[in-house]
Every structure is written in C-alpha cells, then in structure tokens.
Amino acid sequence: MIDFLLSLPTWAGCLVAMLTAAVVGLVVYLVSYKLITKYQSHDLKDPITSLFRLVGLLVSLVLALAFSEVISELKKIRTAVAQESVAISDIYEVLKLYDIERTREIRAILIDYTQAVIDDEWPALADNRLSRRVGALKRQIVEAVINLKPTTPTKEVLLSHVLNDIDALSDHRILRLNSALAGPPVYLYVIIFGFLITMACFGVYRPQAPLVVLFSLYTIFVGLVLYLILALSDPFQGDIGVAPTVFEHLVETLQSEIR
C-alpha cells in the first residue's frame, strides 16, 4: 500500500490517502456507534468522552512530532546533496590548479559522473539502490587521480585535497542510500492506531450531519499529513522530496566551461 501510494503522482497519492482515511474512519465510527449504543448510558458516555479528548491530544502531538522529524531529516539530505555538489566542484577546480592539461580527461570523467548522478543515480535511489554506472565512473576517477605523480610539494597538497573530496563523495552517496533504504517511521503505526482509537471514541455520538462533516474533515486532514510523512520519509521516490537540481546546475556550469 505504501509503495503504491508513493508510486502515484503527488496529487493522486494525496487524494487516495485522504479518501482511504475518510472511508476507514467512517467504518470504524459506524461500527463503534453500533456497539456502544447497546451499552451506552450516562455513566459510560462521560468516561469515553474524556478518553476521546486524551487520545485525540496524544495523536495530534505524535503527528506533529513525526512531521517535524521528517522535515528535519529532509533538510539533512538536502544539505548533504549540496555538500556533494560542492565537493565535485572543488575536485574540478583543484585538478585545474594541479595541471590543467594532464587532468583534462579526469575532469571530463568527473562531468560524466555528475551527469550520471542525475540520469542514473536518482532513478536507482527510487528503487533503493545505487547506480552501478556512477560507481564505475567514481572508480575511474580514483584510479586516474592515484596515477597522478606529484612533482612538487604544492601538487602533493592539491592531490591530498582531491582525495579527501573523493572520500566525501563516497560518504554522501552512502548517506543518500541509507535515506532511500529507511522504512516508514515506527511511530507512523502509532499514529494510525491512535487515529483508529479516536474514530472509535466518536461512536458515543449519534450520527448527525454536522458531526459527520466535522469528523470527515478530520480524517481527510489526518490522511493528508500521513501521506506527507510517508512521502518525505522516502525523499527519492515520488514527486516531492529531494531533486537533483543542484547537480543539474553544476553540470551546466562545468560543460559550459569545457566548451
């Protein structure tokens, strides 16, 4: 169900999530109402109403915490992507300083690597894996850089900077993979359970048009937030999340310089 939702366009995923939450909430409410009416009394209604308020408050709190956490993780991934693009740019510029002619081929491979991140790595991350082509291009860069023989202390320092930036590329790739492999947050199931309990507590109230409209709006809102939490927890799948925009700008800049 989760993979199906994330495979849909954003508007369709939101719609399906909201409709699903509304239907499930309505069914739970009606079943709860039928059961409660058999035993309902004044002594029963007040405790259930108190429970309803408490559970609703807890669900709202966990929902807010979950949403804030996925937003925080999303910011970390975007920061890592930006740092990765900076590392690529640094490698390119330092190689020019090292020897603009001898490193021309390495810099061309570096541009191919950046383009492959856009064309191959991002679709691969949507399938929870890394691109083999990107990995192969990275190995070519490493081998070519290692084969450079610095003849001056300055070139040794420059080569050391390049190797450090290449290590940073590996770290950022693993971070992206870990984010792609991360499953839905555990507390998401707590939210769903609390949502069902809240809808069951609605059963103490007789179905009336204003009440049905209000709890329908509530279920739609919860469904929307749950969808956003799911989508943002897997930032490389679906229309929202992290896009390779920074790499696209970097490739354009480097290619224009080559031309």
Q: What is the pLDDT of residues 24-36, one digit of tens each?
A: 999 999 898 888 7
Q: How confident is the model at residue 20 (pLDDT cuts 50, 70, 90)?
A: very high
The predicted structure's pLDDT at residue 85: 93
| Closest listed residue to residue 110, CA positions, set 166, 160, 157, 155 | 166
pLDDT in tens, 106-161: 999 999 999 999 999 999 988 888 889 999 999 999 999 999 888 889 999 999 99
Q: Is the dihedral of CA 205, 209, 211, 217 positive or negative?
A: positive
* Model confidence band, residue 63 (pLDDT cutoffs 50, 70, 90): confident
Residue 49 has pLDDT above 80, yes or no: no
How many degrees, rounded to 5, is the angle at CA 189 between CA 207 and CA 221? 45
Statement: residue 42 has pLDDT above 60: no
- Per-residue DSSP letters for 175-214? HHHHHHH--S-THHHHHHHHHHHHHHHGGGS---HHHHHH
Torsion sign across C-alpha atoms 33, 39, 42, 44: negative
**Residue 129 has what pLDDT?**
87
In the predicted model, what is the mean pLDDT of the chain?
Answer: 86
Q: Tell me, what's the pLDDT at 248?
A: 92
Residue 240 is predicted with a pLDDT of: 79
Domain span at residue 178 reads 2-258
Looking at the predicted structure, is the pLDDT value of residue 41 above 60? no
Structural domains in the chain (count): 1
Asked whether residue 201 carries a pLDDT value surpassing 90, the answer given is no
pLDDT of 21 reads 92
In this prediction, residue 45 carries a pLDDT of 61
User: The pTM is what?
Assistant: 0.81
Q: Give residue 28's pLDDT.
A: 92
